Amino acid sequence: MSGVTRRFAQASGFHMALRGVNLSVAEGEFLAITGPSGSGKTTLLHLAAFLDRPTAGRIWFEGCETSLFEEEELSLLRKHKIAMIFQNYVLLPYRSVLENVLFRFRYMDHDRAESEVRAKEALAKMGLRGLEGRPARRLSAGEMQRVAIARAIVCSPRLLAADEPTGNLDRAATTAIMESLVALHRSGITILMVTHNEELLAYATRHVVCRDGVLES
């Protein structure tokens, strides 16, 4: 990212969420972003995951400058190369655990049988073997987040953007989730994680602090 600014219109004028942010993330890195509420962490993560466009500045992904990308091209990046994990999991409550993981393929051309095999492997990696048929609404918070991670990794993304992945979890579940993320990182996935919890910084390879829309190393 180079000179990235993100401004939001508000009733009282404009809110500057990010002010000329410069950030470089190397392939295979596990970067933790911390900072107080409203400092611009989530905005930065959304921009990195191409869920939003900067008001000014440029973003590169694998050597490509993306500011001129059409929505279709950004959508392809999100579909094939980037995965997101959310604080509130965003699962489909009426669908089974397996169907929630398979939902990752909803907007892709895919072979159903092959996708099922991969989904089951991802669930097994997250320690959820045997829960494939259970409706998502009947899971514990920790299990829900592990399903969300399985959904994120099932199609082997290059970048995993995690927004407060342990924000709603107890200590044991937090440890389990973080160990899962570390394992994913070791398998070669680049991870960007936004968190409030300074205890989690130990799991990351690098740490930046976001304050008032500006990054501090």
In 3D space, the residue among 201, 139, 133 whose CA is nearest the CA of residue 173 turns out to be 139
d(CA 210, CA 37): 10
Stretch touching another protein by CB under 8 A, among 31-39, 41-49, 193-201, 207-215: 41-49
Rounded to the nearest angstrom, the gap between the alpha carbon of residue 206 and the centroid of all alpha carbons in its chain is 16
For residue 59, the 8-state DSSP code is: -
Indicate the residue among 192 and 203 with the shorter CB distance to another protein.
192
Indicate the residue among 19 and 207 with the shorter CB distance to another protein.
19
Inter-residue contact 190 to 27 (CB < 8 Å): yes
Query: C-beta of 78: minimal distance to another protein in Å?
Result: 5
Q: Any contact of residue 171 with another protein (CB under 8 A)?
A: no
Q: Any contact of residue 16 with another protein (CB under 8 A)?
A: no
Site string for another protein, 116-155 (x = CB under 8 A): ----------------------------------------
Task: Tell which positions 83-112 bind another protein, by CB under 8 A.
Answer: 84, 86, 88, 90, 92-95, 103-104, 106-110
Token pair in block for residue 196: 């409030």
d(CA 158, CA 108): 16
Indicate the residue among 103 and 207 with the shorter CB distance to another protein.
103
d(CA 84, CA 52): 13
d(CA 156, CA 151): 10
Indicate the residue among 26 and 113 with the shorter CB distance to another protein.
113
Question: CB atoms < 10 A from the CB of 41, how many?
Answer: 27
Residues that bind another protein (CB under 8 A): 42-43, 46, 49, 51-52, 71-72, 75-76, 78-80, 84, 86, 88, 90, 92-95, 103-104, 106-110, 163
